[in-house]
Structure 1
Amino acid sequence: MKTKAVRMYGTRDLRLEEFELPAIKDDEILVKIMSDSICMSTYKLVEQGKNHKRAPKNIDTNPIIIGHEFAGVIVEVGKKWQDQFKPGMKFAQQPALNYKGSLASPGYSYEFFGGACTYCIIPHEVMELGCLMEYKGESFFEASLGEPMSCIIGGYHGNYHTNKRNHDLKIDTKAGGDIIILGGCGPMGLGAVSYGLQLEENKPKRIVVTDINDDKIARAREVIPESVAAERGIELLYVNTAAMDDPVKGLMDITGGKGYDDVFVYVPVRQVAELGNKILAFDGCMNFFAGPTDSQFKAEVNLYEVHYTSQHIVGTTGGNNDDLIEANDLAARGRIEPAVMVTHVGGIDSIIDATLNLPKIPGGKKLTYTQFNMPLTAIEDFGKLGETDPLFKKLDEVCKKNRGLWSAEAERVLFEHFGVEA
């Protein structure tokens, strides 16, 4: 079986190559990759090359396939797993393996296992850990985005609150409380808004989303309007803190001076983290969600308030199997919209340039489909391109009727155009 894959040989050394995959072993599974969204973690990987903690030291001679936010269809199943998995089954996968203490993960560590390819081989440890899962949703891209959504869900489940009667902890965000997502108009922040709006048992009273860029706030309002939240009985507010004379006072005033029960910091900026600390309510929990690249990143925390007003500071990274199962289930049932993250779509030939230049490309998630070639294209550019290209004209029509969002229908349009069969 031949595969075409983007492989990493060293720092910023990515190559799109075609090569032969070995026959699968009895405890392996061969899969066809349909979609792979690009994560900032992959950019960090290629910047570090073999110095990255998950990358093998011999990638110059045994390159790895990049990409870990992927989904597709099972093609062939080794004997060990034939009672559990069948050819033709759609799958999603949890890349955070942690197998017997190893840091090895798809997209970072494996020669034949990653998402930026047409076909790959899933090794035994993935199934042994329960990290390969059947996906029953309509689209593939939502299963790809299950991984970042699982990180978001893990963040919500990582928060906790206490009471003065005993030492029991209440896990999750506070029911009937105020949530604020600082720096929340990027792709992950919007995913967090989408998840927060569907909460039931611990449904919040209000979600406030901040940014300092009016264009990003305008897009956020377009893809997740305040009216959608109102229909679910939740007040949703978008706030530009750069336009506030006193952001602390302005944000506190929204809550009537109480403060926020759950604060999520979605950008690794010291001033933002310190702002989050200052607006915590009694028994409030601040989750430092954003991952800094500086190992010495620091911010000031008011420990007086931690002591006397039961404030909590936590940090979460990644999601576990349960978080991914929840993400896939909610997406399949239409309870969350992972599409709010996506601003660009491309083919396998766009992956190298998109990955190497990821911080320079504006917008949200870059979604790629690996079974065909297509330039990385912003959804907002579909209309202009559609003046001369029938494909983009159709994609523009489909996206516009869905609040400018990518969708299962748009995915089908691409597959039909390029003659791709799942």
Structure 2
Amino acid sequence: MKYLAAQYQGNQKLQLVEKEIPILGEQDVLIRIAAATICGTDFKIIEGNFPAEPPVVIGHEFSGYVEEVGSGVKSVRPNDLVTIEPHIFCGLCKYCRIGKEHLCANKKGFGVRLDGGFAEYCVIPEKTVYKIPDYMSSSVAALTENVGCCIHGIERAKIDIGDHVAILGGGFAGIVLAELARMNGAGQVYIIEPNSYRLAEAKKRGFLTIDPTIENVADNLLRATHGLGADVVIEAAGRIETARQAMQLICKGGTILFFGVVPPNEFMEFSPNDIFLKELTVLGSHINPYSHYKALEIIENLNLESLITARFNLEQIEDAFIYAKSGRGFKVAVYPHGVPI
């Protein structure tokens, strides 16, 4: 059976193509994709700033209904609504064998090196398929992978009760990181974001905001933190400018978390003496190890439906990417079988 898919062809080209559904293995699940959301990584793949293996159907944040299962599948059955943890690990390299599978030397990702979610159908191994609770919509279920990444980042940052947390970037991930930081006991959460629409959402959720287009970020944050700086600074914009700024906002003994995906050809200078004198902790956060399950447990409390601000059919994939890049909202969802009424 043939199906429609948005395939990255390389050379910054995304194209709608017809593909043939592969034969299912014993542990495979055929998913009729209900919703897939656009991530910043998808842009970076198309721009050539993120390693992918074209031709490949992109999209790694998605949910769908089980259409068919292999003979050995036991955890899901046809018509179940499921979400996908989109990574396959080799199980044999050093990192897999010391409990750090997400750093696997031979990792493959659906939507990056394996066909992903901007398609009518996708075949996924059972071990990466999660049945979702009945109360959750397919649109919110598609966001589980992103929420799992945010949970991993917050766990890495080790936020303490009463901490001042500054988040550079108030997009979808920035808002989720802020919500999780507050759940973990942060005393104040500051979102630094130039987009007025996103700032308004952050304010509505009760976060303190700084608009870098009209305010001096460092001065405002120092004033709010009694001249000390933030205990935790999270770079969530994926921009070299905000990565540099993180070093200016951190207090002594603080933690800087690089969460956003800064293009690999971008570099910054810093003084090792600053890290030495301030006893800083500088961390990265990569994907979502062992946090997809946790994301399903907490996602209901994050009020994410309101952050899906535009919806498109699969045939409108180019328009969906144009809208997402405009920054007029938060998450853009693509529905391969039609936008729900």
Smaller-chain TM-score bracket: 0.7 to 0.9
Matching residue within 152, 157, 174 for 1:189: 174
Taking the TM superposition and a 5 Å limit, the aligned residue runs for 1:341-352 are: 341-352=307-318
The residue number in structure 2 matching 1:337 is: 303
Letter of the 2:255 partner, please give it.
Answer: C
| TM-superposed deviation, 1:32 | 1.0
Larger Rg: 1
Change (3 A) 1:116 1:271: closer
Letter of the 1:253 partner, please give it.
Answer: R
The residue number in structure 1 matching 2:113 is: 109
Residues 2, 19 of structure 2: 8 Å contact kept: yes
Q: Provide the C-alpha distance between the structure 1 equivalents of 2:236 and 2:253, rounded to a whole number of angstroms.
A: 21
Secondary structure at the counterpart of residue 15 of structure 1: strand
Secondary structure at the counterpart of residue 243 of structure 1: coil
Secondary structure at the counterpart of residue 87 of structure 2: coil
Secondary structure at the counterpart of residue 278 of structure 1: helix
Q: Tell me whether 1:318 sits opposite 2:287 in the alignment.
A: yes
Residues 344, 367 of structure 1: 8 Å contact kept: yes
Q: String of CA shifts for 1:306-329, please: whole Å, max 9, x gaps.
A: 223321111212212x22111111
Residues 208, 238 of structure 1: 8 Å contact kept: yes
Q: Provide the C-alpha distance between the structure 1 equivalents of 2:22 and 2:287, rounded to a whole number of angstroms.
A: 31
Change (3 A) 1:144 1:299: farther
The residue number in structure 2 matching 1:239 is: 210
The residue number in structure 2 matching 1:383 is: none
| TM-superposed deviation, 1:357 | 7.1
Q: Provide the C-alpha distance between the structure 1 equivalents of 2:238 and 2:28, rounded to a whole number of angstroms.
A: 39
The residue number in structure 2 matching 1:392 is: none
Q: Provide the C-alpha distance between the structure 2 equivalents of 1:5 and 1:338, rounded to a whole number of angstroms.
A: 26
The residue number in structure 2 matching 1:354 is: 320
| TM-superposed deviation, 1:24 | 1.8
Residues 197, 329 of structure 2: 8 Å contact kept: no
Change (3 A) 1:261 1:76: same
Secondary structure at the counterpart of residue 251 of structure 1: helix
Letter of the 1:107 partner, please give it.
Answer: G
Q: Tell me whether 1:327 sits opposite 2:298 in the alignment.
A: no
Change (3 A) 1:269 1:106: closer
Q: String of CA shifts for 1:357-408, please: whole Å, max 9, x gaps.
A: 7534533221111112x6xxxxxxxxxxxxxxxxxxxxxxxxxxxxxxxxxx
Q: String of CA shifts for 1:147-184, please: whole Å, max 9, x gaps.
A: 1111211111112xxxxxxxxxxxx212221111122x
The residue number in structure 1 matching 2:75 is: 84
Q: Which of 71-80 and 348-357 deviates more? A: 348-357
Residues 72, 92 of structure 1: 8 Å contact kept: yes
| TM-superposed deviation, 1:270 | 4.2
The residue number in structure 2 matching 1:35 is: 35
Q: Provide the C-alpha distance between the structure 1 equivalents of 2:52 and 2:33, rounded to a whole number of angstroms.
A: 22
Letter of the 1:347 partner, please give it.
Answer: N
Residues 54, 104 of structure 1: 8 Å contact kept: no
The residue number in structure 1 matching 2:166 is: 180
Change (3 A) 1:271 1:79: closer
Q: Provide the C-alpha distance between the structure 2 equivalents of 1:268 and 1:47, rounded to a whole number of angstroms.
A: 14
Secondary structure at the counterpart of residue 78 of structure 2: coil
Q: Tell me whether 1:290 sits opposite 2:272 in the alignment.
A: no
| TM-superposed deviation, 1:43 | 2.1
Change (3 A) 1:358 1:315: same
Structure 1 residues not aligned, in runs of 5+: 160-171, 227-235, 375-413, 418-422
Residues 35, 141 of structure 1: 8 Å contact kept: yes
Letter of the 2:152 partner, please give it.
Answer: G
Change (3 A) 1:361 1:31: same
Residues 221, 249 of structure 2: 8 Å contact kept: yes
Change (3 A) 1:138 1:39: same
Residues 71, 144 of structure 1: 8 Å contact kept: yes
Letter of the 1:350 partner, please give it.
Answer: Q
Residues 188, 341 of structure 1: 8 Å contact kept: no
With normalisation by structure 2, the TM-score equals 0.86
Residues 195, 327 of structure 2: 8 Å contact kept: no
Secondary structure at the counterpart of residue 153 of structure 1: helix
Change (3 A) 1:357 1:219: closer
Q: Tell me whether 1:367 sits opposite 2:333 in the alignment.
A: yes
Q: Provide the C-alpha distance between the structure 1 equivalents of 2:250 and 2:32, rounded to a whole number of angstroms.
A: 47
Pairwise CA RMSD: 2.4
| TM-superposed deviation, 1:289 | 1.6
Q: Provide the C-alpha distance between the structure 1 equivalents of 2:129 and 2:147, rounded to a whole number of angstroms.
A: 16
Aligned residues: 327
The residue number in structure 1 matching 2:190 is: 208
